[in-house]
Amino acid sequence: MEKRHIITVNPDAAQAFSLHTGCGECPTSCQSACKTSCTVANQVCIKEQKA
């Protein structure tokens, strides 16, 4: 169906959230640029990065 009123930025969202669940190989958020305000969503899944 052609959408005229709603544009989905990431139609792959539902799958991306669930892939490689819980392997624990991803970076630790506090080891990057934040040391006082936690952020996790800017990290790339290490398995996705390889794929």
Which residues contact other proteins (rule: CB under 8 A)?
Answer: 1, 3-14, 16-46, 48-49
- Written as one letter, the residue type at 25 is E
Asked if residues 26 and 47 have their Cβ atoms less than 8 Å apart, the reply is: no
Closest approach, Cβ 50 to other proteins, in A, equals 10
Task: Judge whether 23 and 47 are in contact, CB under 8 Å.
Answer: yes
For the bound state, the minimum distance from the C-beta of residue 46 to other proteins, rounded and expressed in Å, comes to: 6
For the bound state, the minimum distance from the C-beta of residue 3 to other proteins, rounded and expressed in Å, comes to: 5
